[in-house]
Amino acid sequence: MSEMIHETLRGLLCGLGDAIRDAVISGRKHLDAVRLSAVAGHAGGDTIYAVDKISEAAILAWFRLNWPQNLPVQIVMEGIEDELCFPEGRTASATDWKCIIDPIDGTRGIMYDKRSAWALAGIAPQTGEGTMLSHIVAAAMTEIPVTKQWRADQFSATLGGDLISTARDLRGGGIEIIQPVPSQASDFSHGFSSLVKFFPEGRTLTSQIEERLWDELIGLNRSLSPQIFDDQYLSTGGQFHELITGHDRMIGDLRPLILRVLDMESQLVCHPYDACAWLVLRKAGVVFEHPLGGFPDAPLDTESGVAWIAYANERLASLARPVLTRILEQFLT
């Protein structure tokens, strides 16, 4: 019975992702980058842009129209200051589920039409403030493509089910089943791997850790041609996509660890809503863990930081894990 409910929830999260994608595509038709990138506010230490406001209205309308009355849910997402539950009028204590959403993960890329953003959603049984990232039983990530792109991918999974991957043709609406395969490489040479360093804060220390890692794993300066390629996709969902589809072999986000050791207060880190599609990553066969071991757990809120590392397969994880752990212990303690 629980898996049937989880499958229902997975389908709902996919429908929510479709609604967000369609709203953003429609809403940006008559807006240029200047208007889409206008600052509309701040929440959880992050900046809310005009393009983010398009998705918020779509989410509220979708839940009012589509969320089943028999699955009362609390919504957690940036920009929502008050308790939000459906059916409306419920309190969080009277709900059975907690749904965390990142309506547009990759706002900075999509508002300048540079790279796809992702609508992310995960849902867990409601246990109040003790509801954790690790409790998620269904998740979905839906691509919000740039204007020149006609295809939008979607990945979803339940705790007991398989990864479901589809591609929607935005020109005609057709849906195709796709079969993504993470990289099967046994080493990192001549492939894409990176540690997150989107912003100036903490970039120097992150780069020092990364340089030491590659020096020990492959030996830097021993070849005239670089062997490790770096790709900074400014979206956790986008990074997950690169791992799922075999484009990248390793991606790590150390920002909460880096900023803590530097005694910096920045909230520009990965949060639970950014990482809420971790179940999709795991179901694809990607290794997803905390950089210092174990699961990168956190409450389903909009404030907590999440440090994580992901490897395309277990062979790569076994190769890099002990080296990275030793380096992090040296740099961060």
The pLDDT of residue 225 = 61
Q: What is the pLDDT of residues 85-142, one digit of tens each?
A: 999 989 999 999 999 999 999 988 998 899 999 999 999 999 999 999 999 999 999 9
Distance CA 20, CA 82 (A): 21
pLDDT exceeding 70 applies to what percent of the chain?
Answer: 91
Q: What is the pLDDT of residues 166-194, one digit of tens each?
A: 999 999 889 999 999 999 999 999 999 99
Is the distance from CB of 300 to CB of 251 less than 8 angstroms?
Answer: no
Distance CA 191, CA 312 (A): 11
Name which CATH class applies to 191-332. alpha beta
User: How does the average pLDDT of the chain come out, rounded?
Assistant: 91
DSSP state for residue 313 in the 8-state scheme: S
Q: 37 pLDDT exceeds 70?
A: no
Locate 308 and state its tokens.
């994580």
Locate 276 and state its tokens.
């809420």
Locate 95 and state its tokens.
């709900």
Residue 215 C-alpha from the chain's centroid:
29
- Reported as a pLDDT band with limits 50, 70 and 90, residue 41 is low
Q: Which residue has the higher pLDDT, 274 or 44?
A: 274
Domain boundaries defined on the chain: 2-177, 191-332
CATH architecture of 2-177: 2-Layer Sandwich (3.30)
Instruction: Give mean pLDDT, residues 298-316.
Output: 97
Distance CA 301, CA 202 (A): 24
Phi-psi region of 139 (alpha: psi -120 to 50; beta: other; left: phi over 0): beta
Distance CA 32, CA 112 (A): 8
Q: What is the pLDDT of residues 178-235, one digit of tens each?
A: 999 999 999 999 999 999 999 989 999 999 999 999 999 987 656 656 689 999 999 9
Instruction: Please count the residues of the chain.
Output: 333
